[in-house]
Amino acid sequence: MEKPLAGHVAIVTGSSRGIGKAIAKRLAQLGAAVSLCSRDPKALEAAGRELREFSPNVLARTADVTSATDISSLVQATEEELGPITLLVNNAGIGNPGFGPVQEKSESDWDLILSTNLKSVFLVSRAVAPLMIQRRRGDIINISSLAGKNTFAGGALYCASKWGLQGLSGCMAEDLRAYGIRVSIICPGSVATEFSGRGSKDPTKVLTPEDVAHAVAMLALQGPQSFISEVQMRPVSKP
């Protein structure tokens, strides 16, 4: 069972760095073929080289997940080069310009945050779900945040995107479970990454990208007769 995900094909969005790269790396280590995407071609190329140390079946493709055209090309290329998609991890997301009092935010700030953190999940899932329905199998894992369950001062736009993701994920789970497709959501607290959030954190009191990757692996390997609908993650040491 060293490669329990052998034969699986995963798309991980926002996978050139941070949590996304850690997730993609873990899935590759478990034997999955992995399709990476990002808007940063240099970082994406570097991530692809790193993952090929664990698996030869890695596709790295530049894509904007807020663009339906880019997503369609990514999904088509993944299926052609790696095989049928069995696992989708919607990880792409941004923090700034989502932090700050709502009266100081612009319409463009709102559009950018909601498009990246919420609309992208809708677009990518919409492109992949019909393929999974045809095969009556698949896992969709959406990376949210504890900010999708808790409010805080200065978090209006970011929280709105993550609260929306909670609702979207729950409805997707109900829509797709009849086809053998499991939809889960992971809600981490603060994670030690380059993600632009609310200031610096004590690295001993936050999660690591590998912690989130471990949770994704757990969901990908869960038993066939049930699914874990939500995972909430917090560091052991309270910030």
**Which residues face 183 on adjacent strands?**
140
Do 90 and 142 meet the contact criterion of CB atoms below 8 Å apart? yes
H-state helical runs in the chain: 18-29, 41-51, 68-81, 107-114, 120-135, 156-176, 209-220
Residues annotated as part of the active site: 158
Residues 198 and 215 sit within 8 Å (Cβ to Cβ): no
Q: How far apart are CA 130 and CA 112, in angstroms?
A: 27
User: By CB neighbour count within 10 A (0-12 exposed, 13-18 middle, 19+ buried), where does 106 fall?
Assistant: exposed
